[in-house]
Amino acid sequence: MASRYTAAWRCRLFAAAAWIVAAAWFYLVLAGTWGFMLPSLLLWALVAVPLAWRTRRWLEEAGRRPAGTAILLVAPIALFTVAIAFPILSTDWRHQLAWVLLYATLGVSALGLVISLLAGTSRGSTGSDQGASA
């Protein structure tokens, strides 16, 4: 049973670290493109969507409930869609949309970090089952 909890923590920490790297990747690309939001969001979404899917799989394989991971799957696509729908507003830093996209990207990565670390209870047991087996 202890190895199961160790595996769960390893998966959760690995997923959390991956979300930190995804946020750093976005800001590195944003700086590398001199603040041009569209390619930055595209390259971040190309990392964030598979990472959200993988986070869901990691949590399921570790026996944890993947609560909230659907938001992680939809949010990068939604942010990139907004940036494409309003290209001038999303690339001009004098408009608020560019700043909203910037902080929303950080927020989605932070949400991935929190979901990874604070994943719900294990699937197969409840608190009363754990107490009875101890």
* Cα–Cα distance, 115 to 110 (Å, whole number): 9
Domain annotation covers residue 39? yes
Please report the pLDDT score of residue 130 as a whole number. Answer: 45
Domain annotation covers residue 106? yes
Asked whether the beta carbons of 116 and 15 are under 8 A apart, the reply is yes
Domain annotation covers residue 87? yes
Which residue ranges of the chain lie beneath pLDDT 50? 126-134
User: 0.75 cut: is pTM over it?
Assistant: yes
Domain of 83?
8-122
Domain annotation covers residue 128? no
Domain annotation covers residue 129? no
Domain annotation covers residue 127? no
Residue 88: CA atoms inside 13 Å, Cβ hemisphere, count? 0
Domain count, the chain: 1
Domain annotation covers residue 38? yes
**Helix %, strand %, coil % of the chain (to 5):** 80, 0, 20
Please report the pLDDT score of residue 78 as a whole number. Answer: 95
Please report the pLDDT score of residue 134 as a whole number. Answer: 40
